[in-house]
Each structure stands twice: as structure tokens, then as C-alpha cells.
Chains A and B, each alone.
Chain A
Amino acid sequence: MIKGNNFKEKIFPPFALFCTFLGVILLLIFLVNILIDGLSRIDADFITSLPSRKAEKAGILTAWTGSLWIMIMTALISIPIGVCAGIYMEEYSKKSKLNTLIEINIANLAGVPSIIYGLLGLEVFGRLLGLGNTILAGSFTLSLLILPIIIVATRESIKAVPKSIKDASYALGATKWETITNHVLPYSVGGILTGVILSISRAIGETAPLIAIGALAYVPFIAQSPFDEFTVLPIQIFNWTTRPQHAFLVNAAAAIIVLLLITFILNGIAVYLRNKWKMNLRY
């Protein structure tokens, strides 16, 4: 029969198209909903006000500054460690059973639920190191969470640097260090940055691990140092959504818009860097 598979051929593309749009449509519905609820609430006062028991007076100043603190501290801690670990695994480590085990486990760590990291952070950073529920404890905890992502991104980017380029460097008498700093890192920095930004944007959306280490919902002051207590946007949002008054739900919607904006901007930068890097480098 000539027309044998025509039915499947006709039905599959529209179905696949539907699947493709399903996620986008759900996201759109969510966005529109949030925008309708919260957009009118966003103004300068909302951004610059401290939290308050009165919904109309409450702002997100401590929350977004806390998120900023967490973001910067987490980046400062996780980037050097993650990139160095990635370089080691890709360029220095020899093949051995122990190294294979470490590699598999780092990949596995990326899948561990974030609340587990929160409990680990509470015990190790909060209690053992005595950091309590400070920004530093939160940043260390989130660093643990995103380290596997940064390591994997670093390794993938380094792997993409052709062996022939490294050979050329070694053949000219360059050491491993010279080859890594002059070639491997400059050529893979775009990919590494993309991974770093995506992981940071995941970190600032995390709530559970920070609640676990004891981040507070109500912080009436802006953090001045990494040793201060803090709150972050997601916790503020979570807190507002649990209030019975409708006005707080509006606040939550407005805070969600701000949080989404930050994540979208970060993701946008990541996409931009990835494209720029791809255009500049073809081997």
C-alpha cells in the first residue's frame, strides 16, 4: 500500500508542534497573570522600602539587596573553585578508578535535591563553622549547590578546544600552565561564563536551602557585611503568599516580576555570551 504511513506522517508534526508550544503557552499564561496582579504595585517605593506589617507600606529593599549579596558572594566562592576543579579534571587528572568515581559523583551531585544541600549547609557552615544564618553561610551553601553545574560547564567548554591547538602550543615548548592560560582558558571562557551565569541565576531563585539554614523572612535592615543575617526575594515571596490578606498576594506578584526580570536578564546575558563566543571562534 502506498499510503501506508500517511496518517502517522500527518498527525505527528502538529502533535510535536503542540508539545513545543505547551511549555511556552503555560509560561505566557503565568506571566500575564502575574503581570496583571503585580505590575501596578511596582514603583520606586516598593523597591526602596523595608518590609512592613502593612502590605501597602511593605517593600522589597532587604530582599533584593539580600539576593544581590548572595549572588555576588556565591559567585566569588563558586567560580574559582568550580573552574579550577574543571581544569584539573580535564587537563591534569590521569585516568584512574578514583578519578572516574569522582567524575560520576560530581555529575550525580547536580541532581541532589536542594533541600539536602540546605541541611548540609546548616550543619557544616551554620553550626560547625559557626556562621549561623548569615550571608556567608547561605553563599557557601548555594555554592555547593551550583559547583557541579560550573564544573560540568567548565569541562565541556575545555573539551571543545581542539587537541590540535594544544598540540601546537606544546610543540613550541610551552608548559601545561602556559598552554592552559594562553589557549585553553581564553578559548573556552565564553562557554564557562555561560554555565556560570546560568548556575548563578538558578542560585538566586533557590529558596529551600536558604530556609533550611535559617534565612529570615523578616529582616528590617539592609545587610552591611557577609556576616549579617539576610533574606532573599524568593523567601520574601514565599512569606507573602502565606499571608491571608489579598494585598500581600499583590506584593508577592510584584516581587515575582522583579525576580523573573533578574533571572531573564541573567539568562539573556548567558545567551548573548554563548552566541558571541560561537561567532568569534571557529577552529
Chain B
Amino acid sequence: MKPVIEVSNLFVYYNNKPALKDITMSIRPNAITALIGPSGCGKSTFLRVFNRMNDFISGCRMEGKVIVDGSNLSNNDIDVETLRKNVGMVFQKPNPFPKSIFDNVAYGLKVQGFTDKKFIEERVETSLRQAYLWNEVGDNLNGSALSLSGGQQQRLCIARTIAVQPKIILMDEPTSALDPIATAKIEELIISLKEQYSIVIVTHNMQQASRISDYTSFFYMGDLIEFNTTENIFKNPQEKSTENYITGRFG
């Protein structure tokens, strides 16, 4: 199958210091790709390349080719707003807007110019159902998003992301701020989402990577050390440092 993201010879610099060095890999559609590695290895930077969120970091610069939807993201003249409508993102800490549950999910649609009330209501409901949140909040859509628990807030953020039906969803350690029960719910949700979406997830939790992902890439000091199916990475790593990391010898 044709990859949804093709990265070749990507370099990312922070103030001329390389944070990612010569990365080449492709992301498969309708699969979960996990990015693992110790803190500071560049995995979050890599994730934020795909929706150009690195633009907000001053001194950050990228070179090389990152093809999403036929356009090269290192071109400065691409329309980042359109890109971000196709490449959604879920953050590390749940970050709902201090607005109602309904307004949170509807915001992306509003930004995209949808005005039909009926359509927005339907889309909000489907998104909340897909995020396994409807049963908990369906009768309280006007309640404040901030009154939800951490796990519910994160599922709300996922509902908000899928409401605009992106092709790709980026997740930056989406469960690191949550307790085990909430984490299990989110993991179940992520797996159910891959039918419709291609998912790239950064995680510090190797069990999580092995539980939910189809492909895993291991980053270390800005280099992509190894990229393979999750099964191969965990059962049969080719590189010594991969093996050391996944067996918990460092990181």
C-alpha cells in the first residue's frame, strides 16, 4: 500500500544544532506507528514535523523531503492550515478549551467553515461516540469540558481531532498524564481508530508500543536507529542499542 507519509533525508535543526539527522522512513496507512526512544532523542520533534507544529519554535529549521498528500512539507509555501486539517494532533497533557463539551468538538468544524447546525450536531455526536465518550457526556454537552476527568478530557481531545476527519492523527504521549484505567480506555480507542485513520504515536511506555502499534521506530540522539514491524523490534531487534533500550538497560 502507498505510504501516507514519506520521509527522506530529513534533518531538523534547533539553532543550527541538529535534532534529527538524515531520517528516511515511510508511514503506512491504517496502521499505528510508534516512535520510541529516550528523552531528547528527537521523537517528538519528528512527530511535530508532520503538522509543522515546529514552526512555533523559534530557531527550528528543517531540510529534506517529507511528503504528505503529495506536497513536500519543507516547502515554505505550503498551506499549513490545510495541512493541519488533514493531520490532526493529540497532545501529551489533555488540553480542552475552557468551553463547553459541544464547543470543543465543534471548534474544528467551525474553523473549517461548516455552518449547518444539523450537520455539526451530527458530527459532534459521531465523534464523541467514536471516542467512547458519548455514553458519559451525551446528556451534558453544554457542561464545561474542564469538569471532566483527565481521561475523559483526553478522549474529548481525540473526539475534537477526529471531528474534522483528518487522514493522519499524531499523538504525543497521549496517556502519560493518565492513570492505568484511563490509559487502557485510550489504548482501546486508538486501536479502534486505525480502521479509519493512520496513526503515529510517540510513547515513553514500551509496553504500550508493543500492545498497540503495528510498526515501531527507535530513535536515539537524533538518529533513526531501527524501524520495523513492532513484532520484529521487540522480539528480534537488529541493533544492539535497540535491544538495550527495550530491555530497559538505559533510557
Contact = CB atoms under 8 A, between A and B. Distances in A.
Interface of A: 94-95, 162, 164-165, 167-175, 178, 182-183, 187, 280-283
B157 interface: yes
A168 B111 contact: no
A78 B81 CA distance: 33
A172 B98 contact: no
Interface residues of B, number: 27
Contacts of B157: 168
A96 to B, nearest CB: 11
Contact of A171 (B51, B98, B146): B51
Contact of B164 (A173, A280, A281): A173
List the 3 shortest-distance A-B pairs measured between CB atoms, nearest first: A173-B85, A172-B108, A164-B95
Interface string B120-160: 00000000000000000000000000100000000001001
Q: Is the interface of A mostly helix, strand, loop or mixed?
A: helix
A92 to B, nearest CB: 13
Contacts of B58: 94-95
B49 to A, nearest CB: 13
B88 A183 contact: no
28 contacts: A162-B95, A164-B93, A165-B97, A165-B98, A167-B53, A167-B95, A168-B91, A168-B95, A171-B51, A171-B53, A171-B84, A171-B88, A172-B85, A172-B88, A172-B107, A172-B111, A172-B160, A172-B164, A173-B82, A173-B84, A173-B111, A173-B112, A174-B81, A174-B107, A174-B111, A182-B110, A183-B97, A280-B98
Contacts of A175: 81
A172 B112 CA distance: 9
Nearest to B107: A172
A187 B161 contact: no
Contacts of A178: 111
Contact of A164 (B81, B91, B160): B91
A172 B91 contact: no
B89 A171 contact: yes
Interface of B: 51, 53, 56, 58, 81-85, 88-89, 91, 93, 95-98, 107-108, 110-112, 146, 157, 160-161, 164
A165 B53 CA distance: 13
Contacts of A183: 97
A171 B107 CA distance: 11
A283 to B, nearest CB: 6
Nearest to A179: B111
Contacts of B107: 169, 172, 174, 182
Contacts of A187: 98
B56 A170 contact: yes
B81 A167 contact: no
A281 B157 CA distance: 18
A95 B59 CA distance: 11
A187 B157 CA distance: 19
A171 B146 CA distance: 19
A182 B160 CA distance: 15
Of A95, A165, A170, A280, chain B has the most CB atoms within 10 Å of the CB of: A170
B81 A173 contact: yes
Nearest to B170: A171
Contacts of A182: 107, 110-111
B139 to A, nearest CB: 23
Nearest to B85: A173
Nearest to B160: A172
Given A173-B108, A182-B107, A168 B51 contact: no
Of A164, A165, A168, A171, chain B has the most CB atoms within 10 Å of the CB of: A171
A168 B94 CA distance: 10
Given A164-B91, A169-B111, A172-B88, 15 more contacts: A164-B95, A165-B95, A167-B56, A168-B96, A169-B97, A169-B107, A171-B88, A171-B161, A173-B82, A173-B111, A173-B112, A174-B107, A182-B110, A182-B111, A281-B98
B146 A282 contact: yes
Contacts of A282: 98, 146
Given A171-B53, A172-B164, A283 B81 contact: no
Contacts of A281: 98
